[in-house]
């Protein structure tokens, strides 16, 4: 596996969703779009050279029993941020997951449209990433796919508080139940090693993509898209023969 990394708990959200200060900023369109991220900053070179980049087209290579993720989400959200790249819901301290008896604290979740990962070559209109970090700085992401259908009640609460201006914040009090309810009841998942899907594209991220999608209405898809006026997903990366468990 490529180099192991340590990430400060204080700066985790900044690392995931923003570039380094004073450097040419990245985006999803034009000269600073994903195909050119590696050219924008010396720290972003792994976006092109890395062999375990995300997102990927998930085609399982091993069908074995994998232990369930234990979810212990018992705190609220406190704010919703429009950072110019996505809408991010920040979570109060105290919620966590356990993977193979190792704990990862939930820091935030955010959205991409259309989905970044594909499942068996299928794309979805929206994907949520629940971002967690362990005490030693390792990252674990739980991804949820959305399919067009009925209105999503939890998304309705989130979208009612949309901060429309870039770098703006609104107060958002989702209950721990709301945060759990955004996920499907069936939490079987695919797992593989990958990277951040935004610069600096750091590798060593544990990806856990839930198999069962949840519903989102056509109007809600448009509502999210209209905030930015363009897609905010990175293109599919080569799997490079990595192991994908189901």
Record the tokens describing residue 25, joined without a space.
């900023």
- Phi, psi dihedral angles at 154 (to 5 degrees): -70, -45
Of 229, 214, 196, the C-alpha closest to 47 is: 196
Known catalytic residue: 25? Answer: no
Contact call for residues 70 and 98 (beta carbons, < 8 A): yes
The reply to whether omega before 211 is within 30° of 0 (cis) is no
Helix or strand holding residue 85 (H, E): none
Catalytic residue among 25, 38, 85, 110: 85
Record the tokens describing residue 108, joined without a space.
């935030």
Cα 71–chain centre separation:
17
The DSSP call for residue 229 is T
CA distances from 155 to 18, 36, 68, 112, 152 (A): 24, 32, 25, 13, 5
Residue position matching structure tokens 């905030």: 227
Hey, which residues are catalytic here? 85
């Amino acid at each position: 596996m490529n180099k192991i990394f340590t990430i400060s708990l204080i700066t985790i959200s900044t690392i995931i969703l923003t570039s380094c200060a004073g450097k040419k900023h990245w985006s999803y369109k034009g000269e600073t779009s994903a195909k050119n991220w590696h050219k924008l900053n010396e720290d972003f070179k792994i976006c092109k050279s890395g062999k375990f980049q995300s997102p990927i087209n998930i085609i399982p290579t091993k069908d074995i029993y994998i232990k369930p993720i234990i979810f212990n989400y018992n705190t609220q959200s406190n704010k919703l941020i429009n950072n110019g790249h996505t809408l991010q819901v920040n979570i109060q301290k105290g919620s966590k997951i356990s993977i193979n008896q190792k704990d990862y604290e939930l820091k935030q979740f955010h959205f991409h449209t259309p989905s970044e990962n594909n499942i068996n070559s299928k794309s979805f209109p929206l994907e949520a990433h629940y971002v967690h970090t362990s005490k030693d700085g390792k990252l674990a992401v739980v991804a949820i796919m959305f399919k067009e259908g009925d209105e999503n009640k939890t998304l309705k609460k989130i979208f009612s508080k949309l901060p429309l201006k870039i770098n703006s914040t609104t107060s958002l009090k989702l209950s721990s139940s709301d945060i759990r309810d955004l996920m499907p009841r069936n939490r079987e998942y695919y797992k593989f090693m990958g990277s951040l899907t935004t610069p600096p594209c750091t590798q060593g991220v544990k990806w856990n993509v839930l198999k069962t999608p949840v519903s989102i209405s056509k109007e809600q898809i448009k509502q999210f898209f209209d905030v930015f006026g363009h897609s905010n997903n990175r293109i599919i990366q080569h799997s490079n023969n990595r192991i994908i468990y189901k």
